[in-house]
Amino acid sequence: AWLDLAIQYKEAGDFKGAREVWEYMEEAFPQQDTSAFNLGVLYHQDLKKYSLSEKNYREAIRRNPNNTLSYFGLHELYRDAYKKETTGAVDILLEGMKAFRNDPNFPIALAAYYRDYAIDYALAIKYIAVAKDLVEVTGDTQKAEALEEEITRLQTL
């Protein structure tokens, strides 16, 4: 119910109300990661308080290292808004790759970062190939073929 209330506040544009509910949840339920994750999103996307966003995403990961959304949220923060001059955007995805060795979404995100932001096609190809290998193990031939097509496309750039 508290989570629903916070979401309603946020959707209504009452970011202070959403923040207060999530902060209450932090105190009332200190082991869960949902409020820390949502505070990370709120501070990043709505309140533009990037150091608080980073702190909350890190806390969400500490509390629940099995929630991939926190890793990707922190990656987006570093990539788009905060500490852009550092390796943070790459480092958090590499951290995620170690924690989720069989999840192709982390190398896919790394490949997209290198393709679209760092403009390093060789590294983009490297990580697409890693993702393709992971996808092939699952038997998803359609996704594996799409990744192979992206490798071929990038090789022509």
88-111 pLDDT per residue, tens: 999 999 999 999 999 999 999 999
Taking the C-alpha atoms of residue 35 and residue 27, their distance in angstroms, rounded to an integer, is 10
Which uninterrupted H or E stretch holds 126?
A: helix 121-138
Return the amino acid letter for 84. Answer: K
Q: What is the pTM of this model?
A: 0.92
- Confidence at residue 144, expressed as pLDDT on a 0 to 100 scale: 97
| pLDDT tens-place string over residues 50-76 | 999 999 999 999 999 999 999 999 999
Taking the C-alpha atoms of residue 64 and residue 32, their distance in angstroms, rounded to an integer, is 7
Cα torsion 48, 54, 59, 60: sign: positive
Residue 16: half-sphere exposure toward Cβ, Cα within 13 Å = 0
Mean residue pLDDT of the chain comes to: 96
Average pLDDT over residues 117-136: 97
- Confidence at residue 139, expressed as pLDDT on a 0 to 100 scale: 93
pLDDT band at 17 (very low <50, low <70, confident <90, very high): very high
